[in-house]
Structure 1
Amino acid sequence: MQVYMDIVLRAFVAMIMLLLIAKILGKQTLSNLTFHDFVTGIILGSIAANLAFNKQLHSSYMILALIVVTVTSFLLSVIALKSRKMRSWISGSPTVLIEDGKILEQNMKKVRYSLDSLDQALREKEIFNLEVVEYAVLEDNGMVSVLKKQEYQYVTRKDLKLLSVPQSFPVELIMDGIMLADNLKDNGLTQEWLENELRRKGKQISDVFYGVRGTQQQLIFDYYEDGIKKPIDKE
């Protein structure tokens, strides 16, 4: 019984340590990984696994190792922010794969990027013809950014000289039937106003699964009772 309790405790400590480390290192660790983030993630995962399940290694050693890796990773991030040269070495640098619709074979070989991977990356951006592409760049995080040639780019309101409508950031008002009082207060809204808006629709706050004020100040509500008699997909 003591063995199981020890494993539970070590696993719990490992989980808490990783959560704290993720908070310290920031949101970058959750996004598409650079070289630095990838290496850090593997090392932290290995140490945490040993902390949780390897009883031959003292837990204090593993915690110390986690702290050392975290501090080292944090310092490397700070150095990368201060020095462009070091940032390029730590995280890598973008590589141009396509220029003016022409594939740069030497760059492809340099980063060991295959044609199949390039085709897939372009298809994911709804590009099936190479001639559409002005530039394609392999970013530090492994994603491919694409700039289409002007004749293939979408027309914007500015191109058509149309009047632009001001937009605001969406404000969540209700989640899971609970009013988000802080969001209302921060945006100069009141519970009375929200209840009046819902009353016009014959609803109350507890009827709403999700409510938000959109970018055009419009109110959007999703109710628990959607009125869909035969859902296409039902779990």
Structure 2
Amino acid sequence: MLDWVDIVVRSFTFLIALFLLTKWLGKKQLAQLSFFEYVTGITIGSIAAEVTMGLERHIMHGLISMTIWTLFPIIVGFFSLKSKNVRDFVEGKATIVIKDGKVMEDNLKKEKYTIDELLEQLRNKNIFQVSDVEFAVIEPNGDISALLKKENQPLTAKDLQLTVASLKEPQTVIMDGNILDEPLSTRGFNRGWLNEELEKMGVSIENVFLGQIDSYGQLTIDLYDDKINVPSPQEKPLLLASLKKCQADLELFALQTESKKSQQMYYKNTQRLNDILNKLKPMLSDN
């Protein structure tokens, strides 16, 4: 066999083998690597490259070696699941580097982190002052996790005692002008509803690049032609406006009636509707 043909055959063979072995190792090889997994990944790639170009070596030797290197992290991973000591040894442990706004210099040196690198990591998390940090650790993958002091944390709806709507995962129902039936039915809709919504917007399905149903069941679309302005969904503003109109009508009826009993009933329902509006306004308002 010609050398270049042999190289082509070896390259395709090891490309497929590397793909299958990496799939076998799992997604962790593509994201957060431990020291052992990092070395394993480099070694497997080096073996594949060496055997691909080393025409004097048998191709099976390379496959056997790669398989052995693949089995090792799988076996180590199995024991890591069973024992925390093994897991700490192989993957490492988190190291505290900031506590109560003070840098732990010894721990920083132990992890071979400079203060510049620590500050850079904090800036990447929009933290610009060490004294604002309650607690920070270097994770086994080398990333920094930081907890701001309570007074420096952003306000949440819970802090303000506001009621907010629970969110559902947005579903993509149109892609490249094609309707995706499964996510559409997942949200409890069908093609008939989708076509009605597109008709309201004055858009045909062929012109839609991307269409999604948001948490509130509203359809939002992106067209191929970015110069065309698509009206935003109006269901929430219309519902809010209708409730406000009902409240205003009840107040008007209360002022117009001469019956004390009816007047009390109108005012009572006006108050109830006002309470409902206060709870729904965060969910129905786009601002």
**Taking structure 1 as the reference length, what is the TM-score of the superposition?**
0.89
1:143 corresponds to which residue?
143
Task: State the AA in 2 paired with 1:123.
Answer: R
Task: State the AA in 2 paired with 1:178.
Answer: N
Task: State the AA in 2 paired with 1:222.
Answer: D
User: What's the CA shift for 1:208?
Assistant: 1.7
- Identify if the C-alpha distance between structure 1 residues 57 and 180 changes in structure 2 by more than 3 Å, giving closer, same or farther: farther
1:11-39: CA deviations, max 9, x gaps? 22222222212222222111132213212
Three-state SS of the structure 2 residue aligned to 1:145 is strand
2:54 corresponds to which residue?
54
Three-state SS of the structure 1 residue aligned to 2:154 is coil
Gapped runs of 5+ residues in structure 1?
A: 229-235
Structure showing greater radius of gyration is 2
Identity score, percent: 39
In terms of mean alpha carbon deviation, does 62-71 or 46-55 score higher?
A: 46-55
Task: State the AA in 2 paired with 1:61.
Answer: H
1:208 corresponds to which residue?
208
- Identify if the C-alpha distance between structure 1 residues 179 and 23 changes in structure 2 by more than 3 Å, giving closer, same or farther: farther
CA distance in 2, matches of 1:21, 1:174: 35
User: What's the CA shift for 1:198?
Assistant: 1.8
CA distance in 2, matches of 1:154, 1:117: 25
In terms of mean alpha carbon deviation, does 196-205 or 136-145 score higher?
A: 196-205
In terms of mean alpha carbon deviation, does 18-27 or 181-190 score higher?
A: 181-190
1:135-156: CA deviations, max 9, x gaps? 1110011100010011100110
In terms of mean alpha carbon deviation, does 42-51 or 120-129 score higher?
A: 42-51
1:170-210: CA deviations, max 9, x gaps? 21212233322332344443233222222222223322222
Task: State the AA in 2 paired with 1:79.
Answer: F
Question: 1:177–1:208: 8 Å Cα contact kept in structure 2?
Answer: yes
- Identify if the C-alpha distance between structure 1 residues 8 and 192 changes in structure 2 by more than 3 Å, giving closer, same or farther: farther
Question: 2:3–2:55: 8 Å Cα contact kept in structure 1?
Answer: no
User: What's the CA shift for 1:84?
Assistant: 0.8
CA distance in 1, matches of 2:162, 2:206: 41
- Identify if the C-alpha distance between structure 1 residues 146 and 69 changes in structure 2 by more than 3 Å, giving closer, same or farther: same
Equivalences, count: 229
2:18 corresponds to which residue?
18
CA distance in 1, matches of 2:84, 2:21: 25
2:168 corresponds to which residue?
168
- Identify if the C-alpha distance between structure 1 residues 53 and 200 changes in structure 2 by more than 3 Å, giving closer, same or farther: farther
Task: State the AA in 1 paired with 2:11.
Answer: A
1:1-80 equivalences under 5 Å are: 2-80=2-80
Question: 2:211–2:219: 8 Å Cα contact kept in structure 1?
Answer: yes
Q: Which has the higher contact order (CA 8 A, sep 6+)?
A: 1
In terms of mean alpha carbon deviation, does 127-136 or 50-59 score higher?
A: 50-59
Three-state SS of the structure 2 residue aligned to 1:215 is coil
1:80-99 equivalences under 5 Å are: 80-99=80-99
User: What's the CA shift for 1:87?
Assistant: 0.4
User: What's the CA shift for 1:41?
Assistant: 1.5
Gapped runs of 5+ residues in structure 2?
A: 229-287
User: What's the CA shift for 1:104?
Assistant: 0.6
1:117-172: CA deviations, max 9, x gaps? 10110111111111111111100111000100111001100111101201111212
In terms of mean alpha carbon deviation, does 145-154 or 103-112 score higher?
A: 103-112
CA distance in 2, matches of 1:191, 1:40: 50
- Identify if the C-alpha distance between structure 1 residues 160 and 65 changes in structure 2 by more than 3 Å, giving closer, same or farther: same
User: What's the CA shift for 1:52?
Assistant: 2.8
Higher helix fraction (1 or 2): 2
**Taking structure 2 as the reference length, what is the TM-score of the superposition?**
0.74
CA distance in 1, matches of 2:51, 2:209: 41
CA distance in 2, matches of 1:22, 1:97: 34
Question: 1:32–1:142: 8 Å Cα contact kept in structure 2?
Answer: no
Question: 2:171–2:214: 8 Å Cα contact kept in structure 1?
Answer: yes
- Identify if the C-alpha distance between structure 1 residues 121 and 163 changes in structure 2 by more than 3 Å, giving closer, same or farther: same
Does 2:177 match 1:177? yes
